[in-house]
Structure 1
Amino acid sequence: MKNNSAITKAIRLALLAGATGTAMTAPIAMAAEGDEVERIEVTGSRIKRTDLETPVPVTVIDRSQMDAIGALNVADVLNSSPVAIAGSDQSNTSFSTTSVGLNTTSLRNLGEERTLVLVNGRRFVSGIAPSSGYAVDLNSIPTSIIERIEILKSASSAVYGSDAVAGVVNIITRNEFEGVELDSQYGISAAGDRGTWEINLTAGKSWDSGNAYATFGFDDDEGLKSSDRDFSAQDLAYYADENGNDVSGPLYSSYPPQGRVSFSNNDGETISLNADGTEFMADGKFNRAAYRQLVSPLQRRYAAAGLTQELSDTVRFFSEFNYNNSKTKGSTIEPTPLDVNEGVFLQDRNGTGGIDINSPLIPEMLRSQLQAAGITNMNETEFVRRLVEFGPRSTDVRRDTIRMLAGFDWELSDSWTANAYYSWGKTDQWQDNGGQLNIERALNALDVVEDDEGNLICADEHARLQGCVPLNLFGAGTVSQKAVDYTRSPAKATGQAEQEIFAASVAGYLPVELPGGEIGSVVGYEYRIERGSYQPGDLAQTGSSSTNRAQPTDGQFYTNDLFGELALPVLDTLSVNLAARYSDHSVVGGNVTWNAGVEYSPIESLKLRASAATAIRTPNIADLYGGRGETFASVSDPCSGVSLTDTGSIAENCRANPAILARMQAHPDGIFELTQAELQGTGGTIGGSELVQEEEAETYSVGLIWQIIDDISLTVDYYDISIDNAIASTGRTTVLRRCYESDPSQFDPTCQGQVVRNGDGALTEVDTGTANENQIDTNGVDVEITYSTELFGGDFNSSIAYAWLGEYVRTSIESADSVDYAGEVVYPENRAVMNLGYRLNQFDVSWRMRFWGSVVDSKDGDNLNLGTGLPLTNANHIDAVTYHDLNFGYEFMDSARAFLGVRNVFDKTPPLLPQATNYGGTGINTASEAYDVTGRYFYAGVSLKF
C-alpha cells in the first residue's frame, strides 16, 4: 500500500496522539510519492513493512503521555489505559509477603500471566517469586528509556509464543537518543504525605555506523499507611441500620492485645474474659487497620544501556542491558494474632498440649473462674492474643533484576535479512519478615515453674541455658522484652527467576509478486528455558513459626519453537497475513498455534480489518512446581450428616472409613455429626502440580480504521476471546467431592494422598493444587477517536479511548456453573480516557479525564452485610467515577522544560469496599485496581537537555 494513504495518516495520527492522548508538538511528516521509505517492524508481526497498519488492533501510548501525568512508573500510565488493569500494585499486594511492592499489568483483565510483556519485541524476565506466579515487574523498566508503548489487543502466540493470550505489551526504548538529558521530579499529596521524587540521567550518541545510549536513575515513593486516610483508618464492614440499609461501621478483631479466653460454664453459656480474668468488653477489641499499609513504599535504582554498531556493510551488532534494584522497606500489617492452643500446642509438636490450670502464669482471677467451670487445662478454652509486644508483622523485600541481550542483523541481499540474538535475565528476591513467633521456643517459654525464691522461670533447664524466659500472655503489656527477644522468629526467604533465550530468523520478500506487491515472509527458531526457585525460611518449612508452613519451590522447563509468517498483498486494496508456530514444551509437549488476518480498503480513507487466532499459555514454574503452602480456607466434608441408612456412592465411601462408621453407630440418630471445631479445623496445603496442562484460546476481532477528514480519525474493533482449560487452584471441597463421588470399587480413602482423617474420622488435612479448571469467555468493543487542528495560533489535539465490555464469563469445566463478571467492580462495562492538549509556542497544557463506569460489588450476592449475614443491598451499587488530571509545561529555549501538574484534581475519595465485600482489598477498604487511593496529588519537575 502507498505510504501516503489516508489510512496511513490515520495511523500516524494515532501514533502521535497515543492511545490516551498526548500533546502533539510536531507536524506529521509524510513521504512523497516515489521516496525511499524504510521498512519498520510493527507490533503484531515480525515482517518489516512500509506501512503502519496490521490486521490486529494496536494501541499506542506515546512518551509524552508519561510526561503529561508525571508518572514515575510505567505501570501508572499503562494501567490507566481502558484495555489494561493492574495485576499487582503497591496497594493490592500490601497484605502479601512474596508479592508486596510489585507493579504488573493485565490486558482485558485476563490476568498478568496471560499478558506478554516485551521490550523491543523480545521477552523480558519475570519479576515475581516463582512460588507465586509469572509476570514482568514493570518496576524493572525505567520510564526514562521508553519511547512509546504499543499494546497489541489480540492473542498472538503464533508470532510471540506462549502467554500472549490476552495480548502483548511491547515497550519500545529510545535506541537513537542523542545528547544528554537530566530529569528530576518531586511530588506530594494534598494531605502532605506520600512524597515521591526521582532523578535520572540519560545520554546517547549516534555516529555514522551506530549509536549508543545509557540511563541511570533513582526514585523513591514513601507510600501511605492505612491510618493516613479516613476511608482506610479503621477496619470496616457493612451492618444494617433500623431501615435495613447497609451502613458502614467498625470491624474489630477479637484477638486483643490483653488476650481473650472463651469457654462454656456449667449452664452451657459462653463466657468471654480478658486474659487477666476481667470481663471482656467490646471496647477491648483491636483495630487492625492502625498497622496496615495503604500504599507500600518503594525505592528503585536502575541502569539501562544499549549499543548498535555496524560491523560491515551487511552485518550489524546490537545489545541491550537492564539492571533494576527495587526495595520495599517497612511495609507492615497488624501484629501476629495467636491462637495459643491451636498455634502453639499442636499435637504433632507436643503430645501434652495446653497450659495446665495450675500454671503460675495464669492470674488467680482467671484461674478461679475456669475452675468453677470445671476446666483443668487451657486447651479446653479458646485462648487468643494479639502479640503487640512483637511489633507489626513487617515485610522488607529487595528485588534485583538484570537482563543482558546481544545479537546480529545480517543483510543477506536487497530482499533478505537474518537476525539472531541471545538474552539472559534473572530476578533475585530477598525477603525479611518481622513480628513472627518461634513456636518451639514459645512451648518452652509457656512451660513455667517457680524457683526457690518464687521467681517464674522456664521449666526446661536446657532452654534456660539458651536464654528462655517466661512468655506471659495473660494480660495487656505482660510480655517482657526478654521474652520477645527469646521467642522472636527471624523469617527470611529467597527466590530466583531466571530466563535464557536464543532465537534466530530469516525474513524477506519472495520472488513471487501478487497484484498488490511482493510477498513478505519470516521463518525462525526460538529456544527458551525458564528456571525458578523459592526458599522459605527454615522455621516456615518446618512449621515452627507463627506464619503458615511453606515448602520450597524448585523447577525448570524449556521450549523449542518453530515459527513462520506470510504477508500476502492480494490486491492494492486487499492484504492477508498468516502466521503459525509449533512449540515443543518439555512438560506438556507440542502445540500448534496460528494467526490469520485480512485488511481491505474499499476507499482510500477507510480500512476494514479482521483477524482470527489460536493461542496457548503453557504452565509456568508456580503452576508446575510451586511449593506447598499451608491453608486453612473453609472446606465442606461430604460425609457430614451422612447416616447408616443413606444410599449412593458418597454414603458408601464414607462408611468405608472405620472411624466414620463407628461414630455413626454411636450416634443416637445414626449419623456422622461433626463438632464446630472439627468443621472449622481442617488444615491442608496448596501448591503446584506437574499434571497441569496448557491453556488453549481462540480469539477473533473485526474492526475498521476511518480517516473521517484530514484531522479526525476513528478506529472501532470488536473482540471475542475464549480460553479453554484455564489454570486455577482446585477448591479443596471440589477435591473431596470428586473423590467421594467415585465408584466405591475404585474409592481411595486417601484420595490419592490428598486427604487425611484422624482417629475420630474428622478431616485434619485436605491438600490441593493447580489444575485446568475453567473456561473463560469475554468480548467487547474498543473505540478510539483522535482529532487535531490549529487553534488560535497553536496546536490543539484530543483523543478518546473507550472500552465496552460485553461479557466476562468464567465457567467451571467440572460443574458447568457459569458466572458473568461484566459489570462488577474490576470488570466495568464502560471505561474511557479522554485527553485534551494545547501547545502555543513554548507553552503546553493537557487535561486528562479517566472514567470508570458504574458497577456492582457482586452480581450473585456473594458479599455480606455482617450484621444480617445477608448479601449487600444498597451498598452493592457503586456510582461511576471520573478523575481529572491537569499538566502545564514550558520550554526554556530548546534545552530545558519545566512542568507542574495535579492528579485527581477534585480529590475524589474512592468508593468504600470494606471487609466481606467481593472486591475490597484487605487493609485498604477499596479496590486500588479501579480507584485512586492517594487523593489530590501535586508534582513538579524539570528536564534539561545538553
Structure 2
Amino acid sequence: MYRKNRIAKAVSGIFFVGLSSTIATSAAYAADEEDKGNVERIEVTGSRIKRTDLETPVPVTVITRQDIKQTGAINVGDILKQSPVAIAASDQSNSTFSTTTVGLNTTALRNLGQERTLVLVNGRRFVSGVDPSTGYAVDLNAIPTALIERIEILKSASSAIYGSDAVAGVVNIITRKDFEGVEVDLQTGISDHSDREQNTVNITTGGNWSSGNAWVSVGYDKDNGLKSSDRNFSKYDQAIFLDDNGNEVVDNLFSSYPPQGRISYKDSGGKSHTVNADGTPYSGGFNRADYRQLVIPIERKYAAAGIYQNVTDNTKLWTELNWNSSKTINSTIEPTPLDIINNVWLKDRNGTGGMDVNSPLVPDALRQQLVAAGITNLNQVSAFVRRMVEFGPRSTDVTRDTVRVATGVNYSIDDNWEWDSYLTWGRTKQDQFDGGQINVERAATAMDVIDDGSGNLVCRNELARLQGCVPLNFFGAGTVSQAAVDYIRVPSKANGAAEQFVVATGITGELPLELPGGAMSMAAGIEHRLEKGSFNPGELAQTGASSTNAAEPTDGSIHTNDYYLEFVLPVIEKLELDLAARYSDHSIVGGQTTWNAGVEYSPVDNFKLRASAARAIRTPNISDLYAGRGENFATVVDPCNGITATTTGIVADNCRSIPAVAARIAAEGAFNLTQAEVQSTGGYQGGNPDVKEETAKTWSGGFIWQVMDGLSMTTDYYDIKVDDAISTTSRNVVLTRCFTSTDFSQNCNGNAIRDSNGVLTEVNTGTGNENNIKTRGLDVEATYTADMGPGAFKAELKWNHLFEYKQTPIGGGETTDYTGEVLYPRNRANLNLSYSFDDFSVAWRMRYWSHVVDSNDGSNLNFTDGNPLVKYNSIKAVWYHDLNATYALSDKTMFNVGIRNVFDKKPPVLNQSSNYGSTGINTAPEAYDVTGRYFFAGVNFKF
C-alpha cells in the first residue's frame, strides 16, 4: 500500500474542505523535491492513473459537501443545475406533462443532452433510471444527497477513459465512507407562501476496526411540490396578445375543450357557428393550469451500506449496496380533452361512425340548429369536443425502484503497481399507473343508445348492456353519469426495467522507464458492459383502445467489450503528456476507437498551461435502437398535395408514379387534399436498429495560475463538435427524403401508407443520425482566501461564457443558432462569499443568468396575428441571492439555516407564445426559480 506523508495529507485536506483544485495544485507545487516520491497516489476524475497531483490536462470543477449544505437542496439535480456548466435535462417542473419521464431528475453538461453526459458513482457507471422506451440517463433521485461527499465535474470529453457517453463530460459523484459511530441528519424547509414543504431524515452508523470499516445508512425525504395554481404567474394558462394599439400584452388563454362540450358547424350559407354541446350559446373555455403541477411532488426512501476489508497487507475487498425507491405523488394534469369525432368515431382515420341528429341523446335546442344547417349526422360538424372533468384529472403515479451492487478487490502488487477489479449490477424497475383515461371503444358503444319502450335510454348493444354499458351523454356540463364513468373509465398501467452489468479489471503504476521529467506511469484494463431494457405500455395502449395514443412494447439488449490504455509521460521536469486510447467492440455498431491527448506545461512557478484534445463517441442505447413505436398525430405536409398532370420536377414525377395519386389527378385535374384529409395522417415513431454511433471531436486549452498567496484561478477554452448526433427524424423529413430521391419507393420503404384515395394515413419514423452540433465557450474559476478580523474570508467565482451553440441537419436545411436563447445564455456565473470564525460561518451565494432571447429566428408568435414576439422575446438578466449560516454547538452538533432566493425574484414571462414556455408553468424552470423565497433549517447530530 502507498504510504501517506504530511504533504499528501495536506493536499487531501485542502481538497476535502472544498477549495478549488487550483489551490490544491499550488500546494503540490510547494512540495519539497525530496518529499515528492513519498506522496500518496490517488485517482483523480479524468484519469485511471493514480497520481500525486490533483490537476490533469482536462479541467475538473468540484462541488463539496459544504456547498451542498449551503444550498439546502435535498436532490442532486437541484444542486447540479446551479453549476454554470450544467443544466437540468429533466426535472420536477419540465416533466410535468410527460408520463413515463414524470418526476425524473437528470443533468446535461454543456447543454448537450442527458445522453451525452456520463454520470458515475465513485468512478463507476450507475444504472439508467429512465424508461427504456424513452431514453437513457441516470435518475439523480436515486442518489441521496445525504450520502455525497463531493461531486467532481469533468468538463471535457473522456470516452477513452470511461467509454461511451462521455461526450460533454463526466459527473462523478463521490459518496461518504469511513463512518464512525452514529450520525443523524435532519432538515426541513418551506417557502414563504407556506407551501412546498420539504423534509428529510438520514441515519448513518458505522465503525472501524484494525483492518476495515463498515457502515449502513437509511433515509427518507419528501418534497410536497407545487400546483400551478399556487403561484400567480402560473395559475392561468397564458399567451401573448396584441392590444388595440398593437402592443404585446399577457392575457389568459383558455382551452377550447370545455366541460360543457363545444360543437362548431357551418350553415348552408357557409357561415360558421359555435355553441355549447347542449345547443346554448358558447359560454367559454377551460383553464388547464387549474390541474397542472408547477413542481411534481416526490417521496423517496433509501438505504445504503458499504464494507471495506483488508484481508492482507496488500489486498482489500470492498462492497457497496444501494437501494432507492422514488415515487411521484398525485402528479396531475387537466382532464382528458376528448375529440369525439376523431378520437371516438375515428373520422381522421377515415372512420364512418357518428350519431344521427335524431338520437335521443341530442338536445332539442341543438338538433334544431343542426337540422336548419342541413346536418343529419354529428360526424358532419366541424368539431365536437369535450373536457372529461367527470373522470377527474389525468394523473401519473410512478414508482422507480433502483437496486445497485458494486463489489471489487484492490491488490497492491508492490509499492509501485496496483491491480483493481470490480463488478457492478444495477436495475431500475418502473411501475406506472395513469388515471383519468378513457376506453374509446366503450365510449362509442355507450353513445349509441335507444329507447327501451318504457321511456328509458339504454345502450343499443345488448351484450354491452349485460357488461354494464349505460348511455354516455356528452351534451352539456355535468351530463356524464357516474355509472357511465365507471363503464368507460380504464385503468392504465405500464411497467418497465433498465438493467446494467459491468465487470472490469485493470492495473496502474509506474513503468521502469525514466524520462527527463521522471518515471512513466500507465494504466491498462478491460471492461465488459451489458445493458438490458424493457417497457410494457399496457394492453389498451398497445391496441389503441384508450384515449391515450397507441404504443408498442420495448425490449432489447446491447453489450460492449472495451480495452483501454493510458500513459503519463513526464517529458521534462515541467512538461507532462497524458495519452489514452480505448477500443470498444459494440454488439450493434462494431469496433470504435477513441483517444485523449493532453499536455501540461509549467514555464514558471505557480503557473501552468494545459491543453487537451479527444475523440469521443456515443453508441446508440436501447431507446435509440429498440424503443417500441408510439402513435403520433403531428402535422404532416404531403409533398403530393397540389400536384397536377403538368407539374414538373422529381417530386411531381414520384407522386404521379403512385397509382392512387395518379388516378385522382386524372379524375379531378389535381391532387388537392381536403382539410379533413390533411389532418388525417397518423403514424408511429420509435427506435431504429440501423442507427449508428455519434462521434465528437473536442479540445480545450487554458491555464492554472496561483496569482498570489490566497488568490488562484483557472481559465479554460473549450470547443466541441458532435457529428451524426442521434435524434428522432421528423416525419416531414422522412417524406422529403423519400420524394426527392431518384431511387423512389412508392410507400417510402413502408414508412408512408396511403388509402385508396391516395390520402396519407400513416407516416412512420424513428431515430436516426440527424444532426451536427457545434459549441464553444470559456470557463473561469477563481478562489480568494484571506484572514480578516477574527476569522477567515473566502470568495469563489465560477463563470461560463458561451461563444457558440449551433445545430445543423445532416440531410440539408438551415443551421439553428441557439446561442443566447433562454437555455443557452451567453453568461452564467456563481459567486460565493463566506466568512467563518470560531464555530460560526455565514455564506452569501449569488447565481447569475444573463440576458437572453426566446428566439433568434422569430419562430415564436403572438396569438393575435401570429407575428414573432418583440417585447416578450427579450428576457432580462437575473441574479438570485442565497444566504446560509452554520453553527457548531459542539463537536457533535451542527446547526444549518438558510434562505434561497432571498429577494423573492419572480420568473420572467415565458408562456404558450414562447418557444421555451409551457402550460401550467409560464416560464423555463431549468433556468429560473419557480418556488420563490424559501427557508430551510437542519441539524446534524453525531453520537
Bucket of the pairwise TM-score, normalised by the shorter protein: over 0.9
Matches within 5 A, 1:362-381: 362-381=362-381
Q: Deviations over 1:545-598 (max 9, x none)?
A: 000111100000000000010011111101000000000100011100000000
- Which structure 1 segments of 5+ residues have no match? none
Residue 671 of structure 1: CA displacement?
Answer: 2.3
For 2:180 and 2:166, locate their aligned partners in 1 and report how far apart those are by CA, in whole Å: 33
Q: Deviations over 1:716-750 (max 9, x none)?
A: 0000000000001111001001111112xx32111
Q: 1:606: which partner in 2?
A: 607
Q: 2:488: which partner in 1?
A: 487
Question: Is the aligned partner of 1:180 residue 2:182?
Answer: yes
Alignment CA distance shift 1:453-1:30 (3 Å): farther
| Aligned residues of 1:252 and 1:288 also touching (Cα < 8 A) | yes
Q: 2:652 is matched by which residue type in structure 1? A: A
Q: 1:770: which partner in 2?
A: 767
Question: Is the aligned partner of 1:934 residue 2:936?
Answer: no
Residue 16 of structure 1: CA displacement?
Answer: 3.8
Query: If the length of structure 1 is used for normalisation, what is the TM-score?
Result: 0.97
Q: 2:676: which partner in 1?
A: 677
Q: 2:340: which partner in 1?
A: 340
Matches within 5 A, 1:591-670: 591-667=592-668, 670=669
SS at match of 2:115: helix
For 1:819 and 1:114, locate their aligned partners in 2 and report how far apart those are by CA, in whole Å: 20
Alignment CA distance shift 1:155-1:454 (3 Å): same
Matches within 5 A, 1:804-883: 804-883=801-880
| Aligned residues of 1:503 and 1:526 also touching (Cα < 8 A) | yes
Q: Deviations over 1:880-919 (max 9, x none)?
A: 0000000111111111011211000000110111013111
Q: 1:498 is matched by which residue type in structure 2? A: E
For 2:380 and 2:190, locate their aligned partners in 1 and report how far apart those are by CA, in whole Å: 53
Q: Deviations over 1:383-438 (max 9, x none)?
A: 10000000000000000001001111111122211111111000000000000101
| Aligned residues of 1:398 and 1:431 also touching (Cα < 8 A) | yes
Q: 1:909: which partner in 2?
A: 906
1:243 to 242, 245, 260: 245
SS at match of 2:219: strand
Residue 243 of structure 1: CA displacement?
Answer: 3.1
For 1:567 and 1:876, locate their aligned partners in 2 and report how far apart those are by CA, in whole Å: 50
Residue 761 of structure 1: CA displacement?
Answer: 1.4
Residue 33 of structure 1: CA displacement?
Answer: 5.8
Q: 1:243 is matched by which residue type in structure 2? A: N
Q: 1:89: which partner in 2?
A: 91
For 2:686 and 2:350, locate their aligned partners in 1 and report how far apart those are by CA, in whole Å: 27
Alignment CA distance shift 1:548-1:375 (3 Å): same
Question: Is the aligned partner of 1:736 residue 2:724?
Answer: no
Q: 1:227: which partner in 2?
A: 229
Moved more, 234-243 or 904-913: 234-243
Residue 32 of structure 1: CA displacement?
Answer: 6.3
1:895 to 885, 892, 914: 892
Q: 1:303: which partner in 2?
A: 303
Matches within 5 A, 1:276-295: 276-281=278-283, 284-295=284-295
For 1:664 and 1:812, locate their aligned partners in 2 and report how far apart those are by CA, in whole Å: 34
Alignment CA distance shift 1:612-1:761 (3 Å): same
Q: 2:569 is matched by which residue type in structure 1? A: L
Q: 2:118: which partner in 1?
A: 116
SS at match of 1:860: coil
For 2:813 and 2:214, locate their aligned partners in 1 and report how far apart those are by CA, in whole Å: 56
Q: 2:82 is matched by which residue type in structure 1? A: S
For 2:291 and 2:21, locate their aligned partners in 1 and report how far apart those are by CA, in whole Å: 37
SS at match of 2:734: helix
Matches within 5 A, 1:306-317: 306-317=306-317
Alignment CA distance shift 1:351-1:865 (3 Å): closer
Q: 1:73: which partner in 2?
A: 75
Q: 2:212: which partner in 1?
A: 210
Alignment CA distance shift 1:28-1:657 (3 Å): closer
For 1:412 and 1:460, locate their aligned partners in 2 and report how far apart those are by CA, in whole Å: 80
Q: 2:356: which partner in 1?
A: 356
Q: Deviations over 1:830-854 (max 9, x none)?
A: 0000000111111110010000000
Alignment CA distance shift 1:500-1:617 (3 Å): same
Alignment CA distance shift 1:348-1:779 (3 Å): closer
Question: Is the aligned partner of 1:426 residue 2:427?
Answer: yes
Root-mean-square deviation (Å): 2.1
Residue 922 of structure 1: CA displacement?
Answer: 3.2
Q: 1:758: which partner in 2?
A: 755
Q: Deviations over 1:77-105 (max 9, x none)?
A: 11100000001000000100001111111
Matches within 5 A, 1:712-731: 712-731=711-730
| Aligned residues of 2:22 and 2:713 also touching (Cα < 8 A) | no
SS at match of 1:67: helix
Q: 1:193 is matched by which residue type in structure 2? A: D
Q: Deviations over 1:663-686 (max 9, x none)?
A: 32333xx32211122222211111
SS at match of 1:622: helix
SS at match of 1:360: coil
| Aligned residues of 2:912 and 2:922 also touching (Cα < 8 A) | yes
Q: 2:917: which partner in 1?
A: 920
Q: 1:600 is matched by which residue type in structure 2? A: Y
Alignment CA distance shift 1:739-1:19 (3 Å): farther
Query: If the length of structure 2 is used for normalisation, what is the TM-score?
Result: 0.97
Matches within 5 A, 1:697-716: 697-716=696-715
| Aligned residues of 1:4 and 1:33 also touching (Cα < 8 A) | no
| Aligned residues of 1:7 and 1:706 also touching (Cα < 8 A) | no
Residue 921 of structure 1: CA displacement?
Answer: 2.7
For 2:520 and 2:625, locate their aligned partners in 1 and report how far apart those are by CA, in whole Å: 41
Residue 358 of structure 1: CA displacement?
Answer: 1.6
For 1:567 and 1:160, locate their aligned partners in 2 and report how far apart those are by CA, in whole Å: 17
Q: 2:89 is matched by which residue type in structure 1? A: G
For 2:711 and 2:533, locate their aligned partners in 1 and report how far apart those are by CA, in whole Å: 49
Moved more, 210-219 or 722-731: 210-219
Q: Deviations over 1:753-792 (max 9, x none)?
A: 1111122212111110000000000000000000111111
For 1:454 and 1:509, locate their aligned partners in 2 and report how far apart those are by CA, in whole Å: 94
Moved more, 713-722 or 361-370: 361-370
Residue 334 of structure 1: CA displacement?
Answer: 0.5
SS at match of 2:179: coil
Residue 193 of structure 1: CA displacement?
Answer: 0.6
Alignment CA distance shift 1:515-1:224 (3 Å): same
Q: 1:787: which partner in 2?
A: 784
Residue 10 of structure 1: CA displacement?
Answer: 10
- Which structure 2 segments of 5+ residues have no match? none
SS at match of 1:436: coil
Residue 648 of structure 1: CA displacement?
Answer: 1.5
Question: Is the aligned partner of 1:328 residue 2:328?
Answer: yes
Matches within 5 A, 1:578-589: 578-589=579-590
Matches within 5 A, 1:180-199: 180-199=182-201
| Aligned residues of 1:921 and 1:928 also touching (Cα < 8 A) | no
For 1:337 and 1:785, locate their aligned partners in 2 and report how far apart those are by CA, in whole Å: 53
Residue 21 of structure 1: CA displacement?
Answer: 13
| Aligned residues of 2:773 and 2:807 also touching (Cα < 8 A) | yes
Q: Which has the higher contact order (CA 8 A, sep 6+)?
A: 1
Q: 1:161: which partner in 2?
A: 163
Q: Structure 1 vs Structure 2: percent identity of aligned residues?
A: 59
